[in-house]
């Protein structure tokens, strides 16, 4: 089986500042449906989490240096959360991701690097 990270793109601040309680509940219901569908189809959810607001982020510039508050100023897309999923059927996983892609600003699915792929 191969591990994939399903990255949930979007500004998590929007969920709390501009959405009504009913809209948030409907959105969360879709994430619950996604989780249920993924597991029913034989994919294995290894982990994941919703992230707090980007205003709570801490950043360190490339090359090191001081820690600053917030995301990088040039960041156009924020990560609102993620799932780590193990599967042998990427196409079916992508089909399941359509459920939550309709809720937010998009989804990115990337294969994780297996330690065996790294040079020793």
Whole-number pLDDT of residue 42: 97
How many Cβ atoms sit within 10 Å of the Cβ of residue 111?
Answer: 11
- The stretches in the chain having pLDDT less than 50 are none
Whole-number pLDDT of residue 104: 78
Whole-number pLDDT of residue 92: 97
CATH number of 2-107: 3.30.70.1060
Distance CA 48, CA 44 (A): 12
What are 78's two structure tokens? 């924020």
- Go through the chain and tell me how many residues it has: 120
**Torsion angle of C-alpha atoms 10, 15, 18, 20, degrees rounded to 10:** 140
Distance CA 58, CA 78 (A): 13
Q: Where are the domains of the chain?
A: 2-107
Whole-number pLDDT of residue 13: 64
């Amino acid at each position: 089986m191969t591990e994939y990270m399903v990255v949930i793109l979007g500004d998590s601040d929007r969920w709390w500042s501009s959405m009504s309680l009913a809209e948030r509940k409907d959105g969360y219901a879709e994430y619950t449906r996604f989780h249920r569908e993924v597991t029913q189809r034989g994919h294995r959810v290894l982990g994941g989490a919703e992230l707090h607001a980007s205003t709570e982020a801490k950043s360190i510039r490339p090359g090191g240096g001081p820690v600053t508050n917030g995301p990088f100023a040039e960041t156009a897309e924020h990560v609102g959360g993620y799932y780590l999923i193990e599967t042998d059927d990427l196409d079916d996983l992508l089909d399941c991701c359509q459920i939550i892609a309709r809720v937010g600003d998009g989804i990115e699915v990337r294969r994780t690097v297996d330690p065996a792929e790294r040079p020793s």
